[in-house]
Amino acid sequence: MKFQKIVGGVIAAAAIAVTGAASAQDQQFISIGTGGVTGVYYPTGGAICRLVNKQRKETGIRCAVESTGGSVYNINTIKAGELEFGVAQSDWQYHAFHGTSKFADNPFPEIRAVFSIHPEPFTLIARADSGITSFEDLKGKRVNVGNPGSGQRATMEVVMDAFGMTMDDFALATEYKGSEMAKQICDDNIDAMIYTIGHPAAAIKEATTTCDVKLIDVTGPAIDTLVADNPYYRVATIPGGMYAGNPDDITTFGVGATLVTSANVPEDVVYVVAKTVMENLDDFR
């Protein structure tokens, strides 16, 4: 997995701020908002915290990871000052900064990207007996659209709008979290689920090894337009053979997962987190 270092002037300016060892009374506690425990965000946040905590005696910074509702929740909670860092999809980071889409009435111009983590394809998984072979086939089906506050739910709504679909087009629209979806699709309570996530993902492995489900291409003119019109989207491929019963490559589109913070978080703290991860990329991976 490749990692792209996107560390801007905020972090560079802090490079001279961290010197010497920190005493116990100088310790600062930071929290990283992630996602569901079976997703990729939670272990990603945990990996960052483990690296930061290894150096807590020198830096005075202690890190804790929190399971949360996902990207949109993390961004809003950082804005409220209740989290210092969070993992978020690049599209919702973009909208928060520019005050567009779901953030039109709640812009967050102080949001800052620390670094990029991994690509996140928009992933559609359907029961093999559902008859679903495309996104349009979700009409009339039981679909898990994602839990409120998650980036995947927000992105699902963007894709639905691009295809001219609403929640009323589904026989049932459920809001299960990532940790619940595999059981629900294998118990035949839903026909399909969507997940915007890095691969391989535990929840999708659980579904593909427990019951007969297929990953579905998400393509067509509507997706081509989304990718062409929005700088945070890109065409993505999920390699065939990554999941049981799915030997073929899957074509879809996706975003990137990024670690974000606020301009209000001290520069020296942001520097320590970024520097620690970049100097230990092999351990982070």
Q: What is the CATH number of the domain that holds 249?
A: 3.40.190.10
Same domain, 182 and 62: no
pLDDT category at 25 given cuts 50, 70, 90 is low
Q: Is the pLDDT of residue 15 over 80?
A: no
Q: Is residue 3 situated within a structural domain?
A: no
Q: Which residues contact 90 (CB under 8 A, 6 or more apart)?
A: 116, 232, 255, 256, 257, 258
- Mean pLDDT across 230-234: 92
Same domain, 56 and 182: no
pLDDT of 178 reads 86
Task: Supply angle C-alpha 167, 37, 118, rounded to 5.
Answer: 80
Q: Is the pLDDT of residue 207 over 50?
A: yes
pLDDT of 8 reads 43
The phi and psi torsions of 140 (rounded to 5 degrees) equal 80, 5
The count of domains in the chain is 2
- Mean pLDDT across 176-194: 95
Same domain, 129 and 252: yes
- Mean pLDDT across 122-137: 98
Same domain, 149 and 265: no
- Mean pLDDT across 107-131: 96
Question: What is the C-alpha separation between 118 and 44, in angstroms, rounded?
Answer: 10
Q: Is the pLDDT of residue 22 over 60?
A: no
pLDDT of 36 reads 86
> Which of 254, 188, 182, 181 lies closest to 217 in space, CA to CA?
254
Same domain, 185 and 228: yes
Global pTM?
Answer: 0.76
Q: Is the pLDDT of residue 7 over 90?
A: no
**What is the residue range of 194's domain?**
120-256
Same domain, 132 and 217: yes
pLDDT of 39 reads 82
Task: Supply angle C-alpha 100, 104, 110, rounded to 5.
Answer: 75
Q: Is residue 86 situated within a structural domain?
A: yes
Same domain, 36 and 162: no
Q: Is residue 4 situated within a structural domain?
A: no
- Mean pLDDT across 68-88: 96
